[in-house]
Amino acid sequence: MKILIAEDDFVCRTLLQEILAEQGVCHVAVDGLEAMAAYRNALEDGKPFDLICLDIMMPGLDGQQVLQEIRKIEQERNIGGKEMVKVIMTTALADSKNIMRAFIKGSCESYLIKPIDKDKLLAEIKKLGLSAKD
Amino acid sequence: MTNDSLEEQREIVEEFVQECTDLIDQLEPSIIEMGNDIKESDFELSEDTRQLINEVFRLFHSIKGGAGFLALGNISTTAHAAENLLDEIRTGSILLNHDHVDLFCKTIDFTREALDLVAANLGDGGMETQAEELTTLLRTAISLKTTASEKPVAKKAAPPKKKNGPPPPPEPVKKEEPVFEFTITPDMVERFTQEADEQLQEVEQGLLKFADNKADPETLGELYRHIHSFKGNCGFMGFGDMEKLSHQMETVLDAIKSEADFGKAKPADPLLSLLDVLKQALGDISQNGKGKIEGVELYIDLLQDLLPEGWGSSKKTTTEKPPRVGEILIDQGVISEETLDQALDIQNKPIGKILIDMGAASEVEVDNALTDQNKKRKPAPSPDLDRTSPTAIKRQDIRVDLDKLDTLINLIGEMVIAENMLVHSPDLKGLELENFQKSAQQMSKLIKELQEVAVTIRMIPVAGLFRRMTRLVHDLSRKSGKKVDLQLFGTETDLDKTVIETITDPLVHLLRNSLDHGVETPDERLKNNKPETGIIKLSASHEEGEVWITLEDDGRGLNRDKIIKKAIASGLIDGDGSDLDDREVSNMIFLPGFSTADKITDVSGRGVGMDVVKQNLAKIDGKIIVDSRPGSGTRTTLRIPLTMAIIDGMLTRVGKSHYIVPILSIKESFRPTPKLITTSPAGDEIVRIREKLYPVIRLHEIHKIEPDSRELSEGILIMLEDGDNTTCLFVDEIMGQQQTVIKGLSEYIGKMGEARGVSGCTILSNGDVCLILDVGSLI
C-alpha cells in the first residue's frame, strides 16, 4: 500500500510514519502544496496513493483545500467510486464546521481527532479495507 | 462538561443535517438526469452520464461518511448500499435502468425523512425497518446482475405488499423481494384517519344542507372538493374499496352540481347512508383493520342507478372501469406517484400542525423544528455580508423566529405611516422649516431603505421549489410514458417564503395538467412533426413590480371549441362564444367545476384542480393568465405582487374621498381637452390619445360619490395599465405620491368581488382612512 502523510508538525509526522510504516510505503509532505505535488506526481506515474492522512492546519494550502482539490482532480479525470483515494483526516480541529466540511464537501473517509491513537488509526484503516495484515 | 459535549454534539448534528439537506437538493436532479441516458436496449454509458454517476457516488459517499461519524447507522448503511450499487453500475457490471433510478430516488426520500428525525432527536433510531427494507432492495438490485435481455422481466415489479387494495398481478414474479415497496407507516395511517374523519364530517354537513334544499352552489362545490380529496387520500393509502366508493359518490355529486335531473330520486339520502359506510370503514382502519367494504360493488351499482339516464355518457368510462384499476396503475408505475405524493405531503403540508393536533409534539417543539427548517432554507440574508468577508465560503445566517420577523415587518409598516403623518402634519402647513425639511427627507430615505431590506428578509430563492418540480416531472413522465424535458430559468429569483408555500400546490396542479393534457404521447408528437421529447419551461422573473412564474409547454394547447362548448353547456356564457377572444376563452378553465376532459381519471379531469390554483393565488393577491395556441402549446403565467405590505401609491381625490392608485399601474396622467373625447353609440366615453382610443372610467360613478365636476376637461385622467388592458380613470385631483401601507379590508366589506375596484385601505397622514384601488378589477 502507498501512503501519503501530510502534516506540518515534525512530532506528529514522525509518529504517524512510525505507526504506518508496517502498513506500507509512507511518503511525507510538510505542507498542503507539497501534498498536492506528491499526489499529482503519483497520479502521473500511474501509481496513485491508496491512503492519505491529512492534517488541516498547514501552511500554504490547508488540509480542507487539499482534500477538495484532490476530489476535483479525481472528478476531472473521471476517477470515481471505489477508485477514489481514501482520506483520513488527522487534525486537532474538532469543531462541527470542519468535521462536516471534510465529510460532506470533501468526501473524506474518516476523521480522527488528535492526539492520534494508534489503535484507532489502525482500526480505521482496517475498516477501509486497506490493512496490510489481512 | 457533559453539558458542553452534549451541546457540541448537537452542533455537529445540526451542521450535518444542514449540509446533508443541501447535498440532497443537489443530488436529486443529478440522479434524474442520470436516468435520462437510459435507452431501451443494450447501451454504453456516455461520458457525461459516467461523470454524473461519479458525482452521485461521491455525494452518497459523503452522506455515508458524515452519518458514520455521527453513528447514524440507518442513514449510513442505506447510503452505503446505494454507493455499492452505483459502483457496480459505474464499472459496467450492472446496466443502469429506471428501477435503479427509482431506487435511488427512494433512498433520497428516506434520507430526507431520516434527517428530519435526526434534527428532532439527534438520532435516526426508529427508522430501522425502512432502512433495512431499502438496503435489501439495493442489495437485491446488486445481486441481480441485470443484462439487457433480462431487463424487461426485472422491470415487472411486484405490487406493494402492505397495500391491501388490488390483488397481485397474475404474472409470475421473478424474485421474492419486490423491487418497489412503498411502506405505509402506522403514523401515516393515523394521520390519514384523522384527516379523513374531518373530511367526512364536512361532507356530512354539506349533504345535510343539501337534503334540506338549502345548499347553494358554493356549498356543493365545497362538498365536492372534500369528497375529491378524501378519494385521493384513500387511493394514496391503498384503501381500494373506499376509493372506489367515494369515486362513485363524487360522480353523483358532479351530476348534482351540474343540476342534472334526478327525477323523483333523492340523491342525498343514499349518499348519506353510504357516508356512514365510509365512516365505518374508516373506523375499521383506525382499529388496525383493512378498511374493506363488504359488497362495495353493490353500493356502486346503487349509485349508478341513481344517476339520471345518459348522464355523462362520455364519462361512462369511469363508472364502468374494471375493479382492478389499482392494479393497472401499479403496473404503470403508480408507485412513483405515491412517492411523489408523499414527497409533496412532506413538503407543503403543515406536518407540525398535524403533529400538534395529535398531541405527538408540543407546539414549542414544532416551532423549534420549523425554525430549524427555516434556517436551512434561508439564503444569505444580504449580499453585503458576503462582500465584507470574501473568505467565508459558508453562508452566514442565524435562526430567527418567523413571528419575530412578521412583527418587525409590521412595525416597519407602522413606521412608514407614522413618518407620513409626521412629515405631512397639518400643523406644519405654511411654515418655512428648512432644517426640518432636510432631516425629514433624510428620515424618509432611511425608512424607505429599511423597508426594502425588511421585505427581502423573508425572501428565499425559488430554486428549491423548482427543483422539487424536477422530481415531479420525472415521476409523472415515467408514469404516463411521455417524454418530457423540464427546463428551469431564473431559479435565483427571490420570493416571499409564504408565497412560495402558497404557490407550491398550484404549480403542482399546473405541471400535472401540462403533462396530462398538454404534452402529447411520443407517437402523437412525431405525427405532428414535433420532436419526440416535449419541453416544459418553468421560469421565474421580475416584471412590472411583480414576480412572474411562467410555465410553458409545447404540447397540443387548449381546445377553444371544446371549452366554449362546455362553457355553453354549463351555462357559464351566453351566446355562442364567438365574441370572446382566445385569452378570455383560455381563462375559462379556471372556473370552478370546469373540465373538458372526456375521461375522469384518478388524477385529473374533475375540474377541481384549476379552481384550487385560482383560489391559492387569490390568497396572495396573485393573478393567473393562460395563453394558448392550438397545436403549439400553452403558457400559464402566475403574476404575484412582490410585496404584500407596502406599495408606492399616488394619492388622488374625488369629491371628498381619497384614493390611492398603485404607481406601478400608472402610465401617465393628463387633463383632456374636450375634442379628445368622443362618446360611443352605446354611451361609453372614449378618449383619444396619440391616435389610440381608450375607455374612460368615472370613479365617482362606480363608488357613487359627488365629484367637484362632472366635466372630463375639468378633472384629470389617469391612464392605467393592467397586463394588456389600458383604461383612463377620471378623478378630480392628484395630490401627490406616498408610501402606502396596505391594510386589509374587514370581511364584511372586503369580500372578494363585492367591493369593486378596491384591494385594501390605508391611513393618511391626517389620520383619515383611504381606499386603495385595485386596477385589475377596475378595468
Secondary structure string (H, E, C) spanning chain A: CEEEEECCCHHHHHHHHHHHHCCCEEEEECCHHHHHHHHHHHHHCCCCCCEEEECCCCCCCCHHHHHHHHHHHHHHCCCCHHHCCEEEEEECCCCHHHHHHHHHHCCCCEEEECCCCHHHHHHHHHHCCCCCCC
Q: Domain B646-778 is classified in which CATH homologous superfamily?
A: CheA-289, Domain 4 (2.40.50.180)
Residue B164 has pLDDT above 60, yes or no: no
| Rg value, chain A, Cα | 13
**Residue from the list A80, A104, A107 with its beta carbon closest to the beta carbon of B53:** A80
Q: For position B561, what pLDDT does the model report?
A: 78
Contact yes or no for B12 and A96 at CB 8 A:
yes
Top CATH class of A2-123 equals alpha beta
Least Cα separation, residue B242 to chain A (angstroms):
46
Q: Chain A within 8 Å of B69 (Cβ-Cβ)? A: yes
Residues of A in contact with B17 (CB under 8 A): none
> What are the residue ranges of helices labelled H in B36-72?
47-69
Highest mean pLDDT, choosing among B4-18, B33-47, B399-413: B399-413
pLDDT of residue B42: 54
| Average pLDDT of chain B to the nearest whole number | 73
Q: Give me the CATH topology for the region B2-155.
A: Four Helix Bundle (Hemerythrin (Met), subunit A) (1.20.120)
Tell me which of B696 and B349 has the higher pLDDT: B696
B743 φ, ψ to 5°? -115, 135
What mean pLDDT do residues B234-255 have? 77
| B556 or B42, higher pLDDT | B556
- Locate the domains of chain A by residue range: 2-123
Judge: B16–A80 Cβ closer than 8 Å, yes or no: no
Cell of B638: 402566475
Q: Would the pLDDT of B120 be above 50?
A: yes
Who wins on pLDDT, B674 or A35? A35
Q: B268 vs B362, which has greater pLDDT?
A: B268
**In chain B, what percentage of residues exceed pLDDT 70?**
72
Model pLDDT, residue A39: 94
Cα–Cα separations (whole angstroms), residue B69 to A88, A96, B66 = 12, 11, 5
As a whole number, mean pLDDT of residues A91-115 equals: 84
State how far the alpha carbon of A114 is from the alpha carbons of A94, A110, A120, B333, B366, in Å: 9, 13, 11, 51, 38
Residue B149 pLDDT grade (very low, low, confident, very high; cuts 50, 70, 90): very low
Report the alpha-carbon angle B38-B39-B41, nearest 5.
130
| Range of B154-163, B482-491, B621-630 with top mean pLDDT | B482-491
Q: Which residues in chain B have their CB less than 8 angstroms from residue A101's CB?
A: 19
> Is residue B319 pLDDT above 60, yes or no?
no
Residue bearing the bigger pLDDT, B201 or B344: B201
pLDDT of residue A113: 86
Query: Any idea which of A117-121, B83-87, B118-122 has the lowest mean pLDDT?
Result: B118-122
pLDDT at residue B384, rounded to an integer: 39
B400-457 CATH: 1.10.287
The average pLDDT across B667-678 equals: 87
Per-residue model confidence (pLDDT) at position B471 = 78
Confidence check: pLDDT of B489 > 80: yes
pLDDT tens column, B256-300:
777 766 666 667 777 777 888 888 888 777 777 777 777 777 777
Q: Cis peptide leading into B592, omega within 30 of 0?
A: no
**pLDDT surpassing 50 at residue B180:** no
Query: For B11, which of A96, A106, A109 is closest by C-beta distance?
Result: A96
Q: Which band of pLDDT confidence, cut at 50, 70 and 90, is reported for residue B231?
A: confident
pLDDT of residue B592: 65
pLDDT band for B390, please (50, 70, 90 cuts).
very low
Q: Which residues does chain A have within 8 Å of residue B47's beta carbon, measured at their own beta carbons?
A: 78
Nearest chain A CA: its distance from B75 CA (Å): 14
Instruction: Give the pLDDT score at A70.
Output: 92
The dihedral over CA atoms of B639, B642, B646, B647, expressed in degrees to the nearest 10, equals -60
Domain B186-331 annotated CATH 1.20.120.160: yes
| Confidence (pLDDT) at A26 | 92
**Residue A3 pLDDT > 70:** yes
pLDDT for position B76: 85
Inspect the interface and report whether the beta carbons of B50 and A78 lie closer than 8 Å: yes
Which of A79, A99, A105 is facing B12, going by the closest CB pair? A99
Chosen CATH of B460-641 out of 3.40.50.2000, 3.30.565.10, 3.30.70.990, 3.40.50.720: 3.30.565.10
- What is the Cβ-side half-sphere exposure of residue B99, based on CA atoms within 13 angstroms? 25
Residue B329: the pLDDT is 43
**Nearest-angstrom CA–CA distance, B312 and B247:** 14
- A:B CB pairs within 8 Å: 70
Complex prediction ipTM:
0.73
Distances (CA, A) of B467 to B26, B34, B394, B474, B626: 9, 15, 21, 11, 23
Q: What angle do CA B509, B514, B516 make, to 5 degrees?
A: 90
Q: pLDDT of B426-451, one tens digit each?
A: 888 888 888 998 998 899 889 888 87
Give the number of other CB atoms < 10 A from CB of residue B183. Answer: 15
| Nearest-angstrom CA–CA distance, B223 and B349 | 21
* B contacts of A105 (beta carbons < 8 Å): 19, 62
Hey, what amino acid is at A116? Answer: I
Among A83, A85, A91, A96, most B C-beta atoms within 10 A, so best to mutate, is A96
Mean local confidence (pLDDT), B574-595? 71
Average pLDDT over residues B18-31: 80
| Amino acid, res. B775 | V
CB atoms B91 and A81 under 8 Å:
yes
Residue B98 scores a pLDDT above 90 = no
Measured distance CA(B509)–CA(B340) in Å, rounded: 13
> DSSP label at B492?
T
8 A C-beta contact, residue B712 and residue B701? no
Least confident of B334-338, B357-361, B565-569, B670-674: B334-338
Across the interface, whether the CB atoms of B62 and A110 are under 8 A apart is answered no
Q: Collect all residues of chain B within an 8 Å Cβ-Cβ radius of residue A78.
A: 47, 50-51, 54
β-strands A86-91, A110-113: how paired? parallel
User: What is the Cα gyration radius of chain B?
Assistant: 30
**Closest residue of chain A to B394, computed from CA coordinates:** A97
Contact check, Cβ <8 Å, A75/B90: no
Identify the pLDDT of residue A34: 92
Q: Can you tell me the mean pLDDT for B695-718?
A: 86
pLDDT for A52 equals 94
Q: Is the pLDDT confidence value at B462 over 80?
A: yes
Taking only the tens place, the pLDDT of each residue in B190-221 is: 777 777 877 787 777 777 777 766 667 777 77
Q: Where are the domains of chain B?
A: 2-155, 186-331, 400-457, 460-641, 646-778
